[in-house]
Structure 1
Amino acid sequence: MGDNGKESANGTVTIAAGAVQGGSTSTLPLATAISGYTAVSDSATMVPSTGGLVKSDLIAGLEINVPGSTLSTTDGNTGKIDIDKDPTVVIDPGADMNFVGSSGYDITPKDSNNNELGKTLSGDAVTLTLPYSDADVTTAGVDESNLVCGSFNTASQTWETFSTVVDTTNNTITCQVSHFSSFGVLGGLTVAVSNSRRAADEAAGGGGAATADTIAPSNPLLLINNGATSTNAREVTLTASVTDATYMMIGNDAAFTDGVWETYALSKKWSLVGNNGSKVLYVKFKDNAVNTSGTVSAKIEMTGQAYIAPTVPTSTTVVAPAPIVTTTTTTTTTTTGATDTTVAKALPFTQIQDEASTVVSGNVNAVISAVAKVRNLKQEVTNRKNLVKELLRTSGIKTNALVDRANSFVTYGTTSTVNLSVGDRLHAVNSYYNAFGRLPRNAKEWGEVVLIANGQAPAEASKTALNRAKANFKYVYKRNANLKDATDLQWIEMMAYGVMPAARDIKAEAAAIKTFRAMFGYAPSKVTAWNVVRAIAYGGVQKLTANDKVPAEASKTALNRAEVNFKYVYKRNANLKDATDLQWIEMMAYGVMPAARDLKAEADAIKTFCTKFGYLPSNATAWNVVRAIAYGGVQK
């Protein structure tokens, strides 16, 4: 009797000397329904020729996404897909693997007359998502990161596995399959369980065919400066020890938000970030079979590093990722374009709403169909991890529907945005979030994203974004923006909302980046910074000369900070009655620019800065110190 609501027929088994005799029936199918017992079974309608997304109402997390023409190219009648929990599928997959859970899932497509359509597919692969529980993973003794989707072949009595994406947050696995059958969740054993099983097999004299490598790198260890407890330098040496690893990832936090996979090396130089205090680094490893180790960490106390606070107004920064294209090989690319940078032609309102409604529908097949593309599950997964993840982490939004919409837009685009790069589409979403403090939730808000991506300001105004843009305009051009002037207004809208140019001008952007670095003292990396760069490049406002003056209003905070840095560099207090000392203080406090650049003096100043502070200048205050050293006139 099984928990699928069925029992076997009666059978006779003959046993002699502890063994089943030949010809006896030892396995009976659970085929007869048990009276009064309801099996866990579900069914959903679908038109075979058009396909679609099927979600089980009774089995939470189970989804089947069937492309059009996969089941039939001609049958336009409403059929269905039957989904049954099947405990008979729980068959040991062999060495180094275990079945996860107590049931598999039998999936059968049927036409409008309830006839099976055949389980071998003729079109594109079906995307299958299966659920699992943490308790099942623990019971099975497997590594959650090594879960795979499996299909049991009744003819060969073996398991077939598929390339699988594991979502440990939602406890689901996703794979693409070319046939319908009985499916289940399989898992690679943890190292301890695997070794125990192998030892038992060897003790019994067992052998068998070779199996896939499912053993993660073991014995991970991380040391900073050979286990030292403190350091007075930012640069440290890491020792990353592990057994059977090909790659490693090092990060400044346990989520590895700044980490990238790199070739494994036992020793590596690393620069500690932030201010003095306790620093914790993290590392994890993986092998060629993509088995990933657990995360280990090491801690060290950093001392003797002068604190340099940023002087750029807080309105110029925002917690959001930079508008870049990240590929599966962690390569960052920039899209080139023509020199025509005129503002894009306004889109018809009906087109904006149609595109936005398609995104909001949550139907990735509809999004793909609208732009005439083929679904790329691998690219979706990559974008979700490398691009959308950071946006969602910073916005704190966990709703799956919002995640899926953002990912489908970034990956495939819409009719009017399909020719943009992945990075540009992500930038449009980021800019909306930056302006309004939320991800787009409905068709109206997604329409605003489409407008931004097409070089137009959104219909809804954001007072916060506009004020931030005005502050940055004044910081760059040393005057207030005139919103009645079309050129100034265009600059403000480009900066506030990240409005994209009609076409890219790489030369203009390169010049704008130089202007940005000269004004702010660091390279643009965040959304708001890139919006400033685009506004400088395409906004049409005339640039200033480099010879800035000290502002009329004094900043006690900036002056105090400058005096602290002066004393740190020259080992004495600044004499504000001395013209040279005062010039140094003003250059450092307010970032006053020299009348003319002296690259040799700046290079020498950078060397002095590195000697004094122990790291390269990277923020506005640090670069102000460099300029003050180079042009302030104070003797070393």
Structure 2
Amino acid sequence: MKTNNMKTKLVLYLAIGALVLLPSVALVLNDAYGYGGGGGGAILPPTIPVTSPVPPTAPPVVPPTTPTDALTQMTSEAGGVVAGIYTNPDSAKETAFQTAIVNKIVPSGTTTATISIITKFVTYGTSTTTTLGAGERGGVVNSFKTAYGKLPATTNDWNDVIKIANGRWPSQTSVASEAAAKVAFKKIYKRDASMANANDNAAVTVMAYGLRPTARNLNSERAGIRSFKAIYGFNPTTAANWDIVRAIAYSGAKR
């Protein structure tokens, strides 16, 4: 009799245990196979392959990226500047920029034709100089004048103006300007410039001809202004002063 009672109790306990464990087993299965259920772990959606959209084909734009292409482009632009070829001229704008910028660059006695060419360049720029503002284009002309002691007049002159605006070495050489730049270099860096060193060469060339950076860094320029003032005792004002600031800011030359 006792044996039968024990068997009955054992069966009863097993049945109760199965009822208690059944929900947990179901929950584990739901979580493991992602069938839903509200209280389990995170349900990960099935992975769907994603294909990047293919943009429509457009005509390629080929900028003058190689040195040869760039120089050819600049030569072409120089011819256009001398010829005065510009689309959509704006006489009111030209008058405003001549008054505000050009008249401060050209000396008295400059011919009307020369003033007109400079004014149009300052006002409209060229394909490779439109990233500069009108004032900076005027500054490039002023740097040319300071370097060579004359205003640009020929196609070769304007080619060098455009090269300077694009941070390229000009084709014409000014022995006097380079000599003065080497003197300034020694004052700044406390040593002679080594023209075989790329950074020293860049510093001398920027100071001599006023090459503009391809991308401006205002923090570097502010530091250059502070260095200029610490060395010379005054703030930069002339074209030559600002060329020194640019050399300090961008050449990479060191003491």
Amino acid at match of 2:136: D
Residue in 2 that maps onto 1:446:
158
Equivalent residue in structure 1 for 2:97, among 376, 383, 393? 383
Cα offset, 1:397, TM superposition: 4.2
Instruction: Specify the alignment match of 1:430 in structure 2.
Output: 142
Paired position in structure 1 for 2:232: 520
Partner of 1:508: 220
Instruction: Give the letter aligned to residue 349 of structure 1.
Output: L
Counterpart check, 1:477 vs 2:199: no
Q: Distance in 2 between the 1:345 and 1:392 partners?
A: 34
| 1:11-55 deviation digits (Å, cap 9, x = unpaired) | xxxxxxxxxxxxxxxxxxxxxxxxxxxxxxxxxxxxxxxxxxxxx
Match of 1:482, as an amino acid?
S
Q: Distance in 1 between matches of 2:237 and 2:134?
A: 17
Q: Percent identity?
A: 36
Greater gyration radius: 2
Alignment-derived partner of residue 81 in structure 2: 359
TM-score scaled by length of structure 1:
0.29
Runs of at least 5 residues in structure 1 that lack an aligned partner in the other structure: 1-343, 545-636
Look up the match of 2:33. Answer: none
How far residue 379 of structure 1 moved from its aligned partner, in angstroms, is 1.9
**1:378: Cα distance to partner?**
2.1
What is the letter of the counterpart of residue 154 of structure 2?
N
How far off is 1:349 after superposition?
3.2
CA deviations over 1:510-561 (Å, ceiling 9, x no partner): 011000000001111110000000000001012x5xxxxxxxxxxxxxxxxx
CA deviation digits over 1:309-348, x for unaligned, max 9? xxxxxxxxxxxxxxxxxxxxxxxxxxxxxxxxxxx97453
Q: Secondary structure at the match of 2:105?
A: helix
Which whole-Å CA distance do the structure 1 matches of 2:169 and 2:207 have between them? 10
Q: Equivalents in 1 of 2:75, 2:209: separation in Å? A: 19
Superposition TM-score, scaled by structure 2 size: 0.71
Runs of 4+ in 1 over 4 A off after TM superposition: none
Partner of 2:18: none
Per-residue deviation, residues 60-93 of structure 1 (Å, max 9, x unmatched): xxxxxxxxxxxxxxxxxxxxxxxxxxxxxxxxxx
What is the CA RMSD across the aligned residues, in angstroms?
1.5
Asked which structure has the greater RCO (Cα within 8 Å, sep 6+), the reply is 2
1:536 to 2:248 alignment? yes
* 1:405 matched to 2:122: no
* CA distance in 2 between partners of 1:483 and 1:413 (Å): 32
Counterpart residue identity of residue 521, structure 1: G
Instruction: Report the structure, 1 or 2, having the larger helix content.
Output: 2
Shift of 1:507: 0.4
The match for 1:554 is: none
Shift of residue 376, structure 1, vs aligned partner: 2.6
The answer for the alignment partner of 2:3 in structure 1 is: none
Mapping for residues 258-297 of structure 1, pairs under 5 Å: none
Deviation digits for residues 379-403 of structure 1, max 9, x if unmatched?
211111121112112xx44211110
Provide the secondary structure at the position in 1 that maps to 2:126: coil
Q: What is the deviation of 1:350?
A: 2.5
In structure 2, what is the equivalent of residue 392 of structure 1? 106
Rounded to whole Å, the distance in 1 between the matches of 2:111 and 2:184 is 33
Say how many residue pairs are matched. Answer: 190
1:460 aligns with: 172
Once the two structures are TM-superposed, the CA of residue 420 in structure 1 deviates from its matched residue by 1.1
For the residues of structure 2 that align with 1:523 and 1:490, how far apart are their CA atoms? Answer: 22
Determine the C-alpha separation between the residues in 1 that align with 2:170 and 2:212: 12
Q: Supply the distance in 2 between the matched residues of 1:529 and 1:518 (Cα, whole angstroms).
A: 13
Counterpart AA for 1:350: T
